[in-house]
Amino acid sequence: MSAVDHDTLVGWLTRLKLTAIRDQLDSLLDEAARSDLTMRETVALLCEREIARKDERRIIMALKIAHFPHARDLEGFDFEAQPSIDPQQIRELATARWVAHGDALLLLGPPGVGKSHLAIALGREVIRQNYTVLFTTAQSLVASLVKAHSEGRLEERLAFLAKPKLLIVDELGYLPFDPNAAHLFFQLVSRRYERGAMLITSNRSVGEWGSVFGDPVVATAILDRLLHHSHVITIRGDSYRLREKRRSGLLQKATPTLFA
């Protein structure tokens, strides 16, 4: 094969969309020469850097699409402050095997114990495992379903919400659903049942979901599907946000709840 000049090689790499190799070509070839790599090892090095660049861009795009309200990770979670949580169980969930199987994960506990932090952190780990994720609060989700229903676009909205491999619904139970909203939420759960995973955080135990949905029958139908293939983590303990104030004496210790 005749010698190929630099500009021609860069043009080929651009056409092939191998932009990481193109942008780092000289430094990668220098690295291969310094390390005395074989031809096969050099090709492997080039492929490794290209894959790393594409993975980085995929993750950045997926994080934008997920609409997480904050950046949270598992390294930033204080497991020592919440001894009711098994760190090994959370690390297992971070592998996303439950997402691959279309399971549900319920994070239950009083306000401020880290449910949303864990939900976001696990969602980010799921993205790293090459799955799509969408994050929403329960109230925003219900509002979008009600609006779509009133505009005759419910099927379109349900199809959109069924697409992500993981749907995270945060803060279920802070405000009660009206009967129509409860039925719409049931349709969504049914649509995703055994097809797409769901992660739901709630300040209410599952025994209280009848009052959350305003209809025990609908609540039972929803739980029947969610709990069929599920992981349930109940977090007990003080609110992170109020712990320091209690230590300083500004607040009295909270009255025990069903989660205490």
Helix (H, G, I), strand (E, B) or coil at 200: strand
Q: Which helix (H) or strand (E) holds 26?
A: helix 25-34
Check if the beta carbon of residue 209 is closer than 8 Å to that of residue 173.
yes
Give per-residue burial for 126-142: e unless 16+ CB within 10 Å, then b: bbeeebbbbbbbbbebb
Closest CA to 177 of 147, 132, 210: 210
Closest CA to 167 of 188, 198, 192: 198
pLDDT of residue 239: 78
What is the 3-class SS of 57-78, one letter each residue?
A: HHHHHHHHHHCCCCCCCHHHCC
pTM of this structure: 0.86
What are the tokens at 164? 């992500």
pLDDT of residue 4: 81
Averaged in consecutive runs of 10 residues, what is the pLDDT profile of the chain (260 residues)? 81 95 95 96 96 95 97 94 94 98 97 96 98 98 97 98 98 93 97 96 96 94 96 87 62 53
pLDDT of residue 260: 43
pLDDT of residue 248: 63
